[in-house]
Chains A and B, each alone.
Chain A
Amino acid sequence: MNWAQPAWAVEPYFGYYDEVPPIDETELNAARERLQEARARLPHIGGATEPGVSAQPEPLPPPIVDERDGAPAIDFQEVDELRKTFQSLQAQRLRESAASQAQPTPAPKESLSPELEQQVQKLSQRVGDLERVLVGTEEHQGLAGMIGGYTRHNGFFLMSGDGDFFLRLPVLLQTDLRTFPGGQNGTNPGVMPSTFILQRVRPMLHFRLWRYFRGYMTPDFGNGFSNNPNVQGRVQVPDAFGEWDYFSLFRIRMGKFKSPIGLEMLQAPQNFSFMERSLARNLLPNRDLGAMVWGIYERGLFEYQLGVFNGVPNANFYEESAATGSAKTLEARVFSRPFVASTTSMFRGLGYGIGMSVGSVKQGTSGQDPMQTETFSYTFFQYNSNVTGDGQRIRISPQVAWYVGRLGLLGQYVRSTQQLRLVTGGQSVRTTHESWSAQASWFLTDDTATFGHVQPRYPVEPSKGHWGAWEIAARYAQLNIDPETFAYNLADPGINALRAKSSTVGLNWYLNTNVRLTTNFVHTDFTGATRAYHAASHEDGLMFRMQLTF
């Protein structure tokens, strides 16, 4: 086992995913190699002296450090140095160009005159200066070492020539039209009216410092379709973490990020086969504050996560994640792709694993946010406000996914057990809710299904007759509330459902790797625990999405 294998050399597949695809190291390496090659061809730049060549440039003065703003200062002196050298080169070129026009240089002969020797010396100096500007030295990179732009895999980026410092600027923008054919009344309520909405608006920052220290943060200006008044219309920070990923099998991450239990939860929202996650998300934590070690072995043959977190409630949306008690939650997940090394096996894209958490919930929180349908429009279950956690909470989630050719399959089961009681006293009750989901997707066009980012074989170009990639998808999900919940009066059986069953069909049109149109129809049936149940019997949601991401 190669413990020292650097993390950047490993390609995660459907392991622990961030909101953005990983940095494409191939491109970084190519840029780095270009610079090294140039340096190799110019040995004198590295300090070796050759006749007629300007040797090691003067060391630059120390940078003026101004940290008043608490941010790393820009080294303007170094920039100024480059500028002056550049101006000098330009001025010199202009002078010599004018002189050469006035006095044409004589054709070179076998033996050169002293004047010509002098010109060769001057030319050497000019070439040396140009090398200094373009190539720089080991300590101070020249223009060729300052790299930025756009590439297909890295998107928009800025980086140092050796790739040790890297900044990437990804964006996710999802704009929806959500309609509810059943209207707002009767037994089929859409709680929210039909509306245009911005669901996710995330300008992200993804950076790496000194090669092995990685950071990622994003605000979200969307959050349009959330019933949570703490979230709607407010700027939220779903992710903000730092990571030391020197060893691929032992990466250390701290901050706010996705809890590593559910497989569906770990998929980036731009890569869902549907518009939102299934009902099972209601029994899993979303984002949490904590610390985690994790690692990937042999390109995903085996991967693990092990972390300690504040222990947010089961929630379908990310929250503040501040601790409500001193108790913490331990979360772990293992996942394997046993045939990942095979280039021919149809099971190469098969992966399975299990995630779980153990923790304690007390002090005024039930550990469970209101449960909502896949459309986010209807709350079908929530505990009474006088219910509080009273001890251990255990979640367990076996999971499997298989991607082969045009076909994508994903399934997961979640079981969440929680000790509860009424704040007014009374017996401590152990409730166990469970949920599962199974989904399948199939490309109608000749494209490849993936857990990650779909890359259409023929991006839309009407003039060439190319129309992108088309995919159909179907999902079934079910969530069962523990009947004990109603027996012990922890929730109102009149308005809270005992069971929710949801069927979703979707059509995805990937215009190219960045733009996608999605349509989902979601039908959810609700069953009450007793005849007292008088809330919605079902909900129908018809949703449309245009998504742009890079």
Chain B
Amino acid sequence: MRQPERTDQPAPVQGPPAPAAPRTPSAKQQLRELDRRLSVLESLAVGSGHKRGVMERGLGWSPEINERGFSLYSTDGNNRLHLNGGIQADYHGYPDGQTGHAPGAEPDGFVLRRLRPILDFRIANYFRGQIMPDLAPRRRSELFNAFIDWDYYDWARVRIGQYKPVLNVENQQGEFDLVFAERSLVQNFALRRDFGATVTGRIIDRHVRYDLGVFNSGNGAIGPASVPEPSVDNNKLGMARVMVTPFLLKGPEAFRKLDIGVGVLYGNCTNSPCQQPMMSMGQDRTIFQYQPTVVGNGFSTRVLPQMTWFWRRLGVMSAFVHTWEPKIDKSMGKAALLQNEAWMAQAEVSLTDDEPAFNRVTPRRPFDLAKKGHWGAWTVAARYSEQRIDPQAFGLNFADATQYVQTTKGTSFAVNWYASREFRYQWIWEHSEFQGANQTYAAPRTSDMLIFRFTLIY
């Protein structure tokens, strides 16, 4: 079959056919007819009476930050359904290969890191919810987010379900908005994703944000991976965080976007260590793991001071965590109060006339070869992070000193190209140095990893 000719020229509009009758309507008649037809079109476009017109159509695409993606909505805006999604496809390379001084933990290869269809909805104006599975991990789908919000009052929003508690500012940032490929070593000691309930609010002219929450103390509650599980016992974890934006409305212009605060996690773990295996910053290597016989031995506390600061072309983020964790080896009966800590600091600088952001960077000039100077936004970023495990953990054989690391130092560099709000390419280098607790340590002492990442999010 012949394919129809494709052209950028508009399709020619057929002219009026010859009138069947000899009588030609006068110009006045034609004008009246045109007026009538225009009225019909107006009612179609704008609507009339209780009938909605094309202009009130509740579907389409909106690029605005809170209305992003494809959406369906009621014309009063009280009910909205956003059909969003995100893909992160990586290439992971290990320059030293799989052997030698700094062996790669895995072979070089392409990795589908995240594949998330996202249903975001608002019902009756004040009720919001989200369902977000991830189809990428372990070749099976897992539910990551499913929660309901009641946000009638700005000073007390309620959230119930499964989601990311905002104990750590890094965790608060979306996976598709990270400056680097993965979060820092601090994440090894923070709540990742869990079932629970939270009250959040902004008070004192929005200068202060608070979060109060209670969560299951599942086996994998704390650590770098999203593995929410039901409680293994009746214990729960309590979380509180306060973040202050002191110069939000007044004060030095440069510090308007300075947030500073502290998060605290307090809870009991008895039937599990409440700790996932800890990972290096590239999440390619397990750097610390308790023996299977080690569990919690009472109430533990974690304190996380944290800050973010965004000013013109600069974005800075930092967090610190110190933990007090009573642990016991059930088989040996040995107990100790372990004190672990970690910290991170990162900075991102824009090379183009753009501003780094906690959420998604919106390039001033999205990539478009047809327009001069439209090269998207380019940024460079660097991060340093360190974690120290309590030496008692190895002294009491709570962890295998031959395999696992006492001190980890990680450095990251990234070049980010934000082609548009939705498309982004990253070139990231992760370097880690590992130090064992004693001379029996036999695992790698350094690790290098190159990550090329493509992100599509809408």
Contact = CB atoms under 8 A, between A and B. Distances in A.
Interface of A: 30, 34, 38, 41-42, 49-58, 61-62, 64, 77, 80-81, 84-85, 87-88, 91, 108, 110, 112, 116-117, 120-121, 123-125, 127-131, 134-135, 143-144, 146-151, 156-158, 169, 171, 173, 175, 177, 183-184, 192-198, 201, 203, 221-222, 224-225, 233, 235, 459, 462, 511-515, 546, 548, 550
B58 A150 contact: yes
A150 B44 contact: no
Contacts of B204: none
A52 B197 contact: no
Given A54-B13, A87-B10, A514-B124, A116 B27 contact: yes
A224 B58 contact: no
A254 B31 CA distance: 58
28 contacts: A41-B40, A49-B16, A53-B33, A58-B14, A62-B1, A84-B10, A87-B10, A110-B28, A125-B15, A127-B34, A149-B73, A156-B79, A171-B119, A175-B146, A175-B160, A175-B162, A175-B195, A192-B230, A193-B232, A195-B231, A196-B230, A221-B131, A224-B230, A225-B230, A235-B141, A511-B127, A515-B127, A550-B121
B333 interface: no
Contacts of A143: 54, 57
B230 A38 contact: no
Nearest to A221: B143
A146 B168 CA distance: 45
A147 B12 CA distance: 27
A253 to B, nearest CB: 27
Contact of A150 (B81, B150, B233): B81
Interface stretch (B17-25, B282-290, B338-346, B348-356): B17-25
B245 interface: no
A88 B8 CA distance: 10
Contacts of B146: 173, 175, 198, 201, 221-222
B148 A175 contact: yes
Contacts, number: 221
B359 interface: no
A53 B74 contact: no
A149 B41 contact: no
A151 B58 CA distance: 10
A346 B19 CA distance: 65
Contacts of A511: 124, 127
Given A459-B124, A514-B127, A125 B13 contact: yes
B4 A77 contact: yes
Given A49-B17, A515-B124, A148 B59 contact: yes
Contact of A127 (B41, B57, B80, B232): B41
B38 interface: yes
Given A52-B30, A193-B231, A171 B121 contact: yes
Interface string B164-191: 0000000000000000000000000000
Interface string B323-338: 0000000000000000
Nearest to A232: B230
B147 interface: yes
Contacts of A81: 11
B355 to A, nearest CB: 34
Tell me the interface secondary structure of chain A in the complex.
Answer: mixed
Contacts of A64: 3
A127 B148 contact: no
A233 B142 CA distance: 8
Interface string B197-209: 1000000000000
Tell me the interface secondary structure of chain B in the complex.
Answer: mixed
Contacts of B73: 149-150
B438 interface: no
Given A134-B41, A512-B124, A151 B74 contact: yes
A183 B40 CA distance: 70
Contacts of B27: 112, 116-117, 120
B11 A196 contact: no
B45 A52 contact: no
3 pairs of A and B residues whose beta carbons are closest in the complex: A149-B58, A61-B4, A88-B10
B44 A57 contact: no
Contact of A147 (B17, B57, B147, B160): B57
A38 B40 contact: yes
A548 B59 CA distance: 22
B148 A173 contact: yes
A182 B216 CA distance: 19
Contacts of A128: 13
B249 to A, nearest CB: 27
Nearest to B152: A462
A459 B125 CA distance: 12
Nearest to A235: B141
A182 to B, nearest CB: 11
A52 B16 contact: yes
